[in-house]
Amino acid sequence: MKLSIVIPCYNEEATIAAILQRIDAVDLGEVKKEIIIVDDGSKDSTPQILSSYNGKYNTILNQENKGKGHALRLGFEQCTGDVVIVQDADLEYAPEEYGKLIQPILDGEYKVVYGSRILNKTNERHSALRFYYGGLLVTWITNLLYGSRLTDEPTCYKVFDRELLMSIPLECEGFEFCPEVTAKVLKRKIPILEIPITYMPRNIEEGKKIRWYDGLEAIWTLIKYRFSN
């Protein structure tokens, strides 16, 4: 069995080496790891850091910044694993939790698993209240439109059976990847299992890139795919 880890990154010189070191250290037993990094036109030293690994990781270097969704779609095309997980290039999420996130898919019980920050009651920090309540709003609208019972739709840790993921036609360019893939999974009546995860948020000064208007785009994306094919 193999896990494909897709990492979109943009200007992450402060954290990319650390997150790769943590991913390398994760022991998944007989499950192999495939790491795919898509640098989305970084203007800092991120491309140089990635080049210094001399081909250790499958790395795609975009010449210009096109957005997280575009980077993820490029990464997904390179996946050869049985299971695919999205990993941000910062240190907000813990790769040490891969095992519990992928196991329900490896066991054949689910095709999609989300890591929920909300279900872990020990997560007391938030990067900003507007992000926290914005995430709750997006989740509530998701549940309203699609009849789901999610607690954390905008989570980074989204895990998929690769065959299912590759069967979903994605059009996203930016942060609308999350609502688009969620909408298309739920429209197929595929259940999403949520598992509590650890969350150590950063703020905008530390490099967080999502903005308030990305929340509006997420809501529009959810509405669009609810009422169109």
For the chain, list the domains and their CATH numbers.
2-226 (3.90.550.10)
- Percentage of the chain beyond pLDDT 70 is 93
* Whether the predicted pLDDT of 208 surpasses 70: no
Q: In this predicted structure, what is the pLDDT of residue 131? A: 75
Q: Residues 6 or more apart from 99 whose CB is under 8 A from it?
A: 26, 28
Distance between CA atoms of residues 101 and 216, nearest Å: 28
Place of tokens 């509590």: 196
| CA distance from start to end of the chain | 33
Where helices occur in the chain by DSSP H, the ranges are 16-25, 46-51, 68-77, 98-106, 129-146, 162-166, 177-187, 212-226
Distance between CA atoms of residues 99 and 101, nearest Å: 5
Structure tokens at 15: 């954290």
Neighbours of 107 (CB within 10 A): 8
Q: In this predicted structure, what is the pLDDT of residue 134? A: 87
Q: In this predicted structure, what is the pLDDT of residue 129? A: 75
* Whether the predicted pLDDT of 15 surpasses 80: yes
Question: What band does 212 get if pLDDT is binned at 50, 70 and 90?
Answer: low
* Whether the predicted pLDDT of 207 surpasses 60: no
Q: In this predicted structure, what is the pLDDT of residue 204? A: 59
Q: In this predicted structure, what is the pLDDT of residue 215? A: 76
Residues 178-196 pLDDT 10s: 999 999 999 999 999 999 9
* Whether the predicted pLDDT of 50 surpasses 60: yes
Q: Residues 6 or more apart from 16 whose CB is under 8 A from it?
A: 9, 37, 46, 49, 50, 89
* Whether the predicted pLDDT of 120 surpasses 90: yes
- The chain-wide mean pLDDT, for the chain, equals 93
Model's pTM, two decimal places? Answer: 0.93
Helix (H, G, I), strand (E, B) or coil at 63: coil
Q: In this predicted structure, what is the pLDDT of residue 205? A: 59
- Percentage of the chain beyond pLDDT 90 is 84
Q: In this predicted structure, what is the pLDDT of residue 228? A: 85
Residues 63-82 pLDDT 10s: 999 999 999 999 999 999 99
**Cβ–Cβ < 8 Å for 185, 112:** yes
